[in-house]
Amino acid sequence: MNKSELAENVATECDMTKAQALEAVNAVFSTIEKTLGGGGEVRVPGFGSFTVAHRAAGMARNPRTGEMVKRPASKRPKFKAGKSFKDCVNC
């Protein structure tokens, strides 16, 4: 399912136009991005939580040459599924 299909399903479930549903879906994703970008986290009970994982700097091997290179520290978005969501997927 892509974003437009998701918006179409939201429109059907919430009795709204596809344009309104797409705007709502975009707003949810934008809010999650802004919150994680600011270092926060988003928790949706029963669904899961979005957090920022910090990866320390270190050494990595270049797979082409085999030489060791420095890997800079970075941040990664992380999602942990909630129990209800996991149970639903495993039905």
pLDDT tens series, the chain, 91 aa: 999 999 999 999 999 999 999 999 999 999 999 999 999 999 999 999 999 999 999 999 999 999 999 999 999 999 999 999 999 999 8
Gap between the Cα atoms of 54 and 73, Å rounded: 8
Gap between the Cα atoms of 60 and 40, Å rounded: 29
Q: What is the pLDDT of residue 91?
A: 83
Angle separating helix axes 3-14 and 18-37, nearest 10 degrees: 120
Q: What is the pLDDT of residue 50?
A: 98
Q: What is the pLDDT of residue 51?
A: 97
